[in-house]
Amino acid sequence: MSKNEISVKDLTVAYQGKTVLNHVSTVIQSQKFTGIIGPNGAGKSTFMKALLELVPKISGEITFDGRSIKTIRKKIAYVEQRSELDLSFPIDVLGVVLLGTYPSLRLGQRPGKKEKERAKQALAKVDMTEYENRQISELSGGQLQRIFIARALAQGAEWIFLDEPFVGIDAVSERKIFAILDELKNEGKTIVIVHHDLHKVEAYFDEVILLNKELIAAGSVDEVFTSENLQLAYGEIIGQLVKGVMEK
């Protein structure tokens, strides 16, 4: 097992008696940009949440670098879908990024000068320094994603998980966010993203996991996005259309 590799063995998840993921086994390579891909209702977000123990599983073993998530949770950052966030909460940008420093503090301890400097450095990394006193409700979708990435940086995360980070943002913001994440990957971080836009899969990801309630395939884009696999994931007609989109 390579350092920081995520191993998933026989993962099954069900909601209200309905199977959402069925016996999924795969490996997420370390220091790679991995996309979780599949049609609507395929279990992509559930798969990510199950990796992070945010939803209960019926069966399965998940390890990070050979260890349980409980032992390395401080090194894992998760950015949920924007639709799940309460943007009315009165907190400014610097305050959000400072939240990333709390896992390294003792119980009841408040961030001090060192933590504030770390948060400011993280904001500079994502080019958001000038917004540090803005309320999060004032930010665009792309700006929000950048401050959540800054929060992960302030945390010192080795594994960064993002659920549909490019939904509802403009093309310029998407390119900026991708460039930031790609730089983090090159610095040794492991980046895992739930993603739906098939036009960008080949350009963005080193590895992909193709799901439709079960694992269809995992590996490089060329290995995974075959006509056969796409038809298994999306159905015969849609799979052919998807393949056409990928080849444009």
Tens of pLDDT, residue by residue over 18-71, are: 999 999 999 999 999 999 999 999 999 999 999 999 999 999 999 999 999 999
- The region of weakest confidence among 15-19, 179-183, 238-242 is 238-242
Task: Give first-to-last CA distance, the chain, whole Å.
Answer: 36
Q: What is the pLDDT of residue 16?
A: 85
- Can you give the pLDDT at residue 83? 57
Residue 71: C-alpha distances to residues 62, 63, 80 (Å):
12, 10, 22
Confidence of residue 247 (pLDDT cuts 50, 70, 90): low
Task: Assess whether pLDDT exceeds 80 at residue 86.
Answer: no
Give yes or no for a contact between 210 and 224, defined as CB atoms under 8 angstroms apart. Answer: yes
**CATH code at 6-247:** 3.40.50.300
Cα 51 to Cα 211: distance, rounded to the nearest angstrom: 14
Q: In what order do the strands lie in the sheet with 76-79?
A: 76-79, 159-163, 190-194, 33-37, 207-211, 215-219
Q: Is 1's pLDDT higher than 60? A: no
Identify the pLDDT of residue 242: 60
Q: Mean pLDDT, to the nearest integer, of 102-127?
A: 90
**Per-residue pLDDT, 42:** 94
